[in-house]
Structure 1
Amino acid sequence: MSKLSLAYIFHQQQLLVDQNFNLPEVESLASDLYFHAGDQVIARDLLADEDIPAGLQLVAIRQLLTVWTIQQFEQASRAIQLLEWRRNHKFCSHCGHATEAHVNEHAMVCPACRYRQYPRVQPCVITLITRGNDEILLAKNAKNKSNMYGLIAGFVEVGETLEEAVRRETFEEVGLKLKNIQYLASQPWPFPSNLMIAFRAEYAGGEIQLQEEEISDAQFFKFDQLPEIPFKGSIAYAMIKHVIDGHPVADDTREWL
């Protein structure tokens, strides 16, 4: 009897877990994605005609953030991003030939021209902006139908530093200038394949002017008068609590606070 493998089995942005949010153990398939050669941890997609086994359920990845440790979420994030990468690179971007998975590393190799395609992450900056000792800038995404306010965030552009991205995104979205930009932490964010890089900065000048296609509202809020903020487990929540409570974004065991 073959040894069972711990399995990350996904259906889009949902993961198959038991009632205690633990991963199932299953027999490996030839098509499974292995994290490392020889290990017993695999990832795969749930097939369209495949039934959900008894005792298991599909749970949104975002929901697992509130009950899993950082390490557990990062492993799941790695799994879903590798599966997404493999699905999107079945053909060579140079010559169009069908690719093959490399045996010893995460690479899709073209047998015709030998070009290799490796997984890529998209760097995003997310910035917590304070004014004085008791105010924080929070913004509401124009596409968000809830009343939740979050932080200014956006993709890093080609040729710019992370600090330049922080300044540019803030000025573009709310028209403000910053000073004292400081790195805080980072978090893999598999929606679809981002790396959130967190910064703290201070208000330096300007009046709030909204980029209306991106931001529907932005205000400086007093620490004791915050609106609805992102859920626990997200780096945005940890950043806000870091400023309000004076704690590090993550503790020594890498648990989000």
Structure 2
Amino acid sequence: MHSKAYIFRQQQLLVDDDFQLPQVEKLQHDLNLSEDGEIIARDLQDDKAVPEGYQLVPIRQLVQVWSRQQFEQASRAVQLLEWRRNHQFCSHCGHQTQQHVSQYAMVCPACGYNQYPRVNPCVITIISRGPDEILLAKNARNKTQMYSLIAGFVEVGETLEEAVRRETLEEVGLQVKNIQYLASQPWPFPSNLMMAFKAEYHAGDIQIQENELSDAQFFNFDQLPEIPFQGSIAHAMIMHVMNGTPVADDTKEWL
């Protein structure tokens, strides 16, 4: 029996020249992504050559060429593989773990503790000022000229709205109001769930957090800098505020 395979080397996926997945024989230690075993995931070890006719493509690149459903399945595969690599030993007693036969769980045979995949919740916010301006920021570690939206991890004991306010205040020194939820997107870099919000400028002057950002400005809609690529939730959010298009439509494809 041959299965459609998501084969990764870290954050790079094995595909052919048409970005199609290989069909391979299922192995004992493959991760099942479907109950019938027709879709699997596995790691390509560093000492293994890339098969002829195939290439390793950064998963981020696939956002632009695959449908949302295809990308989310690849996202799920790479996150599960990373979770399995990172939980080969029990965090309670240190004994080597075993993969559960029917669940996504790494089981400790010594103490019985189960370790399940975890998702890191993040907020991403588009902040408008007046009818035709939005706040865009440039990440200090980004070597390109791309500007994006304010984003950050949700902290323990914090609501999503509190995370929006805190991240905005920390990164650009601004207060916001009228916070509204928009949509969400799994983002496997490494295991994040991006939750999108829009908010309005309320008060303050821009003061960037220099270890995080190199610049932040309010831009007019007709004078935007380079923005995130189509397929990312940040791009969809910017189009939503500019044009009124939904962040995700009923076909569940990113706009």
SS of equivalent residue, structure 2 residue 69: helix
Task: Give the deviation of 1:47 after TM superposition.
Answer: 1.6
Describe the superposition over 1:169-223 as per-residue Cα deviations: whole angstroms up to 9, x where unpaired.
0000001111110011111111111010000000011111111111111000000
Q: Which runs of 4+ in 1 moved over 3 A?
A: none
Aligned to 2:133: 135
Checking the alignment, whether the CA contact within 8 Å between 1:90 and 1:100 is kept in structure 2 is yes
Aligned residues: 255
Gaps of 5+ in 1: none
Task: Give the deviation of 1:38 after TM superposition.
Answer: 2.9
Identity in percent: 73
Q: Is 2:88 the counterpart of 1:93?
A: no
Task: Give the deviation of 1:95 after TM superposition.
Answer: 0.4
Q: Is 2:14 the counterpart of 1:13?
A: no
Describe the superposition over 1:20-49 as per-residue Cα deviations: whole angstroms up to 9, x where unpaired.
111111001111111244331100011222
Task: Give the deviation of 1:154 after TM superposition.
Answer: 0.2
Aligned to 2:217: 219
Aligned to 1:192: 190
Aligned to 2:118: 120
Q: What is the identity, as a one-letter code, of the residue corresponding to 1:87? A: R
Equivalences for 1:1-257 in 2 at 5 Å? 3-257=1-255
Task: Give the deviation of 1:79 after TM superposition.
Answer: 0.2
Deviates more, 1:27-36 or 1:93-102: 27-36
Gaps of 5+ in 2: none
Name the TM-score, length of structure 2 as normaliser.
0.98
Distance 2:58 2:34 in 1: 25
RMSD value over aligned CA atoms? Answer: 0.8
SS of equivalent residue, structure 2 residue 168: helix
SS of equivalent residue, structure 1 residue 224: helix
Distance 1:36 1:23 in 2: 15
Task: Give the deviation of 1:246 after TM superposition.
Answer: 1.1
